[in-house]
Amino acid sequence: MKENRQHRYWTAFILLLAGVLVFFILNICIGSVQMTIPDIVQALTGHERTETNIRIIWDIRLPRTIAVVMLGGSLALTGYLLQTFFHNPIAGPFVLGISSGAKMAVALVMIFLIGRTSRVTSADMIAAAFMGAMLSMGFVLVLSRRIGNMSMLVVSGVMIGYICSAVTELTITFADDADIINLHNWSRGSFSGMTWENVKIITCVVTVTVLHIFLMSKPLSAYQLGDAYAANAGVNLRLLRICIVIYSSMLSACIVAFAGPVSFVGVAVPHLVKKLLGSVEPLYMIPACFLGGSVFCLFCDLLSRTMLAPTELSISTVTAIFGAPVVLWVIGRKNTDKQH
């Protein structure tokens, strides 16, 4: 029994790691210029330099792919945290309007700053997104106290999302600066245009936050039992709740600031990973969710770039195609469980 479980954990982690590796390489090879692995090695090590290949890999594909790994993992992990926090299987940063809140704040700040200063730094973007995420999260928390019903909580999250999106759209419509074109692309969600500077900041923020979350896996596991039993186990519930809110907002902020809102990854991936692991133990779920999110997003980003090349689809279009059915499956399964 115990050995079985260990065995399953190992298999799951090996599968996930292999998935990340395979898709990482595919993402670098496939594109408007096709490359083989030897081409890449040559481009990176500098034998027989072909300037364009080096530029494509070093300036475009590599930073983008690393960003996808980091942000995809963060998305899934945020979803898992929120699902645990609200004891709600279909919670996620997008569903609860947290992504949209962050998006609104970023759009407002960008337009305000573009008018005055020429440059908007990554730090500004993250700070703005964090404020926006916390604002939406605050609304959701206030509502969750008043609404006992979990489905209604999700509905109100979706409403908050709509309000924020409407404000964002308005802002974009009325600001007819040339820079707004970027803003428009970004507001639909896309991993394109990542620079090494972006990647550096993303990696720092994500690594630190994810490590903190991993260190919370013990109290999280007690929290899963329910408030009364977590408190009885000696968990400081207040502190834990505050940490979950801050960390999940931080990760959402990072995602939105660099890739815009990406839908369904946060809701769908934790369920797929849970099935793979056969457990909800946070000690395993936290790293597995991160890897699962990375694989899922690498796969979706690859499709978004190649399906209708040279046109690039918005990432949310692709994640929705693969993520939404998973959500429907989860809802359907919940109901059949009740009937038994």
Partner 1 sequence: MEQYYFTTKKMCVGYDDRPLIKNVEITLSKGEILSLIGPNGAGKSTMLKSIAGQLQLLGGTVYLGENVLSEMKGKELAKKMSVVFTQKARAEMKTCRDVVATGRYPYTGWFGVLSDEDQKVVEEVMALTHIMDISGQDYNKISDGQKQRVMLARAICQEPEIIILDEPTSYLDIRYKLEFLSILKEMQVQKNLTVIMSLHELELAKIISDKILCLKGEYIEKYGTPEEVFETEFIRKLYDIDDEILLKDAKFLTYVRQISSSD
Using CB under 8 A, which of 225, 242, 307, 308 touches partner 1? 225
Cβ atoms of residues 300 and 127 within 8 Å: no
Which among 94, 91, 170, 102 is positioned nearest to 132, based on CA atoms? 102
Cβ atoms of residues 29 and 7 within 8 Å: no
Using CB under 8 A, which of 33, 142, 166, 215 touches partner 1? 215
Q: Does 235 bind partner 1 (CB under 8 A)?
A: yes
Cβ atoms of residues 5 and 278 within 8 Å: yes
Query: Looking at 36-44, 61-69, 197-205, 216-224, which segment touches partner 1 (CB under 8 A)?
Result: 216-224
Task: Please count the residues of this chain forming the interface with partner 1, following the rule CB under 8 A.
Answer: 23
Provide, rounded to whole angstroms, the least separation between the CB of residue 222 and partner 1.
Answer: 5
Q: Which is nearer to partner 1, 33 or 225 (CB)?
A: 225
Taking CA atoms, 207 is separated from 152, 172, 200, 310, in Å, by 34, 32, 11, 33
What number of other Cβ atoms are within 10 A of residue 165's Cβ?
Answer: 19
Using CB under 8 A, which of 49, 188, 200, 218 touches partner 1? 218
DSSP H or E segment with residue 173? helix 150-174
- Separation of alpha carbons 217 and 281, rounded Å: 8
Which among 327, 315, 257 is positioned nearest to 107, based on CA atoms? 257
Query: Looking at 23-31, 74-82, 123-131, 214-222, which segment touches partner 1 (CB under 8 A)?
Result: 214-222
Using CB under 8 A, which of 87, 200, 212, 334 touches partner 1? 87
Provide, rounded to whole angstroms, the least separation between the CB of residue 310 and partner 1.
Answer: 45
Q: Does 229 bind partner 1 (CB under 8 A)?
A: yes
Q: Does 231 bind partner 1 (CB under 8 A)?
A: yes
Cα three-residue angle 86-91-94, rounded to 5 degrees: 135
Which residues from 246-305 bind partner 1, rule CB under 8 A?
274, 278-280, 283
Q: Using CB under 8 A, list all residues that contact partner 1.
A: 1, 87, 215, 217-218, 221-222, 224-226, 228-229, 231-236, 274, 278-280, 283
